């Protein structure tokens, strides 16, 4: 047979073998065998069915945390997106499945130490043909398995080469298939501005993963990536998103440009950064690049390298949970990142949540009177959240609150009791002294927290707000 030449338009459609770094034989019946580790340009034609590709490429995509399908409103002949987003299933690790999270390919030119798909790992590799992936997305969408597509990819050849192919998939979905579902498109660091401009036209959300918070860590673990190559596209995308929003206000017909904004992901626990550095970065991202979400991903050891934690290291789930709590405080509770840390403690308190920890450092601000404190003060009370404060403010307009009313309104007093007065009376079971209260709030009495439930708490908190926002939208 004739070997296709590069530049041949059908090349990508039919063959993927030239960009495979290592040779691999996959028989027609599905069993695969990798046989050459360092062969440059070693390639053998292989046949792999969709199911096999699917297994490999979903397996590789799962360490991306983001899964939200919220923030965009769109409607087309096939499908629409709901502003609040919809979860369709929950996998056995308790994370929600909302989007078809998949890599276009896991063939990578980079060798990032923390990544499963790094060049030097000996794992089966696969690449989707655009049509294969589009058909599956549409089919899954129609059956209501998913809310849309989360397309990510390893880097083949160059960032631009990869990005062009990803955009092609998304363009066909939106164009030929009239797909109105949610599309989250991962942007490869180092993509050229021309492609960035196109990407936002088809995607609802775009994201560039920072992964490691400092240039130093990046140089250590991902020597092929540079900080400016990551931050640059983010800034450029932000400029486009802002200007398109401004334009849309003037002219209704201007098409939406990444209406659900940008997000990113940081890996926690692979490198020695402090929580202060991480939250500092997050806050900067929220304020200057207007990110919608920063995801924190507790590092799951997948590789052995001298620069990384050993494979046996526990996953820092609790730390991840605390970072999410702090993140929520910054975004919804009017906290400044600097308030959560002191000079001597660059890490968040693992024993009590960041809000309680802040409250215990500022006893002069408490207790607050439930019947008089304004909304901004109420949401700073440990145990009272956005919903609770909203309920209090609402009910206060028609009657003055007693302690029984709070209980009836489903406001948990477990933690709040130490920080509030109701009609001037303090209801805590112990006097108001930070040390004693800290004792009460610390998790010794809740041993389950150390294992799996920090995750649990986080998800409940996150989900509740998401569901709540949906409900508000509905009413």
Partner 1 sequence: MERKIYLYDGTYTGLLTALSVIEKKREKPGNICPKGSYRPGLFDKIITITTDPAETADFLNTLEKVLVRRSLDHIFRVFLSSVQHKEMAIYRYVRLGFETQKKLDYFLSDERVKFIHDHARKVSVEAHRMRGLVRFRELQDGWLYAPIETDHYVLPLIIRHFSQRLPQKQWFIHDIKRKKIAIHNLTYPRIFDVKNYRVPELSFKEAEHQKIWQEYFKNIAIKDRKNVRLQRQFMPKRYWKYLTEMEVIHNEETCTRYHP
| Contact footprint for partner 1 (CB under 8 A) | 50-51, 54-55, 58-59, 61-63, 75, 77-80, 82, 86-98, 100-101, 136, 139-140, 142-145, 147, 300, 315, 317, 391, 394-395, 397-399, 401, 404-406, 408-409, 452, 455-456, 459-460, 463, 467, 470-471, 474-475
Query: In whole angstroms, what is the distance from residue 279 CA to residue 285 CA?
Result: 10
Residue 63's closest CA among 319, 321, 265, 304? 265
Which residue is associated with the tokens 């009376």? 425
Residue 100 near residue 148 (C-beta atoms within 8 A): yes
Work out how close the CB of 430 gets to partner 1 at its nearest, in angstroms, rounded to a whole number. Answer: 26
- Kindly list the distances between the CA atom of residue 366 and the CA atoms of 106, 358, 372, 400, in Å, as whole numbers in the listed order: 53, 11, 13, 20
Work out how close the CB of 451 gets to partner 1 at its nearest, in angstroms, rounded to a whole number. Answer: 9
Closest to partner 1 by CB, 98 vs 421, is 98
Residue 236 near residue 198 (C-beta atoms within 8 A): no
Question: Torsions phi, psi of 66, nearest 5?
Answer: -55, 140
Which spans in 289-422 are helix H? 317-332, 354-361, 375-378, 386-396, 403-408, 413-416
Could you give the 3-state DSSP secondary structure of residue 101? strand
Closest to partner 1 by CB, 190 vs 388, is 388
Closest to partner 1 by CB, 50 vs 158, is 50
Could you give the 3-state DSSP secondary structure of residue 407? helix
Work out how close the CB of 255 gets to partner 1 at its nearest, in angstroms, rounded to a whole number. Answer: 20
Render 150-213 in DSSP notation, one character per residue: EEE----SSHHHHHHHHHHHHHHHHTTT-B-SEEEEEPPTT--HHHHHHHHHH-SEEE---BSS
Closest to partner 1 by CB, 365 vs 408, is 408
Work out how close the CB of 215 gets to partner 1 at its nearest, in angstroms, rounded to a whole number. Answer: 28
Exposure string over 155-177, b if 16+ CB within 10 A, otherwise e: bbeebeebbbbbbebbebbbeeb
Closest to partner 1 by CB, 146 vs 285, is 146
Work out how close the CB of 408 gets to partner 1 at its nearest, in angstroms, rounded to a whole number. Answer: 4
Residues near 111 by beta carbon (within 8 Å), at least 6 away in sequence: 118, 119, 120, 223, 224
Q: How many CB atoms lie within 10 A of CB 230?
A: 22
Work out how close the CB of 297 gets to partner 1 at its nearest, in angstroms, rounded to a whole number. Answer: 10
Closest to partner 1 by CB, 42 vs 459, is 459
Closest to partner 1 by CB, 49 vs 215, is 49
Closest to partner 1 by CB, 254 vs 460, is 460
Query: In whole angstroms, what is the distance from residue 330 CA to residue 327 CA?
Result: 5
Closest to partner 1 by CB, 276 vs 470, is 470
Residue 417 near residue 427 (C-beta atoms within 8 A): yes
Query: In whole angstroms, what is the distance from residue 378 CA to residue 272 CA?
Result: 35
Work out how close the CB of 150 gets to partner 1 at its nearest, in angstroms, rounded to a whole number. Answer: 11
Burial (CB count <10 Å: 0-12, 13-18, 19+), residue 226: middle
Work out how close the CB of 60 gets to partner 1 at its nearest, in angstroms, rounded to a whole number. Answer: 9
Rg (CA), the chain: 25
Work out how close the CB of 342 gets to partner 1 at its nearest, in angstroms, rounded to a whole number. Answer: 31
Closest to partner 1 by CB, 426 vs 459, is 459
Closest to partner 1 by CB, 219 vs 460, is 460
Residue 202 near residue 171 (C-beta atoms within 8 A): yes
Work out how close the CB of 221 gets to partner 1 at its nearest, in angstroms, rounded to a whole number. Answer: 19
Work out how close the CB of 448 gets to partner 1 at its nearest, in angstroms, rounded to a whole number. Answer: 10
């Amino acid at each position: 047979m004739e070997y296709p030449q590069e530049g041949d338009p059908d090349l990508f459609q039919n063959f993927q073998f030239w960009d495979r770094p290592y040779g691999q034989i996959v028989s027609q019946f599905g069993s695969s065998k990798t046989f050459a580790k360092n062969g440059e340009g070693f390639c053998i034609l292989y046949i792999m069915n969709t199911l096999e590709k699917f297994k490999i490429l979903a397996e590789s995509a799962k360490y991306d945390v983001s899964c939200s399908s919220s923030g965009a409103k769109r409607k087309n002949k096939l499908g629409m997106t709901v502003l609040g987003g919809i979860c369709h299933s929950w996998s056995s690790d308790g994370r929600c499945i909302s989007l078809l999270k998949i890599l276009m390919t896991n063939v990578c030119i980079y060798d990032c130490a923390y990544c499963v798909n790094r060049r030097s790992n000996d794992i089966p590799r696969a690449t989707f043909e655009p049509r294969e992936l589009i058909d599956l997305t549409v089919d899954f969408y129609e059956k209501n398995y998913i809310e849309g597509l989360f397309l990510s990819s390893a880097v083949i050849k160059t960032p631009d080469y990869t990005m062009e192919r990803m955009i092609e998939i998304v363009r066909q979905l939106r164009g030929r298939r009239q797909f109105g579902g949610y599309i989250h498109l991962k942007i490869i660091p180092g993509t050229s501005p021309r492609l960035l401009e196109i990407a936002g036209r088809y995607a609802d959300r775009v994201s560039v993963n920072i992964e490691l918070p400092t240039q130093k860590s990046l140089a250590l673990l991902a020597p092929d990536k540079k900080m400016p190559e990551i931050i640059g596209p983010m800034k450029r995308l932000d400029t486009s998103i802002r200007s398109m929003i401004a334009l849309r206000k003037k002219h209704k017909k201007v098409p939406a440009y990444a209406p659900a904004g940008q997000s990113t992901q940081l890996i926690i626990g692979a490198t020695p950064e402090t929580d202060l550095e991480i939250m500092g970065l997050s806050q900067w991202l929220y304020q200057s690049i207007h990110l919608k979400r920063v995801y924190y991903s507790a590092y799951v050891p997948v590789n052995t390298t001298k620069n990384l934690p050993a494979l046996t290291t526990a996953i820092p789930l609790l730390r991840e949970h605390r970072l999410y709590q702090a993140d929520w405080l910054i975004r919804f509770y009017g906290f400044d990142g600097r308030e959560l840390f002191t000079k001597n403690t660059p890490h968040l308190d693992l024993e009590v949540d960041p809000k309680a920890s802040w409250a215990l450092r500022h006893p002069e601000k408490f207790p607050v009177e439930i019947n008089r404190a304004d909304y901004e003060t109420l949401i700073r009370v440990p145990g009272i959240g956005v919903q609770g404060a909203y309920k209090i403010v609402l009910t206060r307009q028609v009657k003055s609150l007693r302690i029984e009313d709070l209980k009836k309104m489903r406001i948990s007093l477990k933690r709040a009791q130490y920080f509030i007065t109701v009609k001037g009376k303090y209801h805590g079971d112990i006097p108001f002294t930070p040390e004693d209260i800290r004792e009460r709030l610390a998790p010794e009495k809740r041993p389950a927290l150390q294992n799996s439930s920090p995750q649990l708490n986080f998800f409940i908190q996150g989900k509740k707000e998401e569901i709540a926002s949906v409900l508000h939208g509905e009413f």
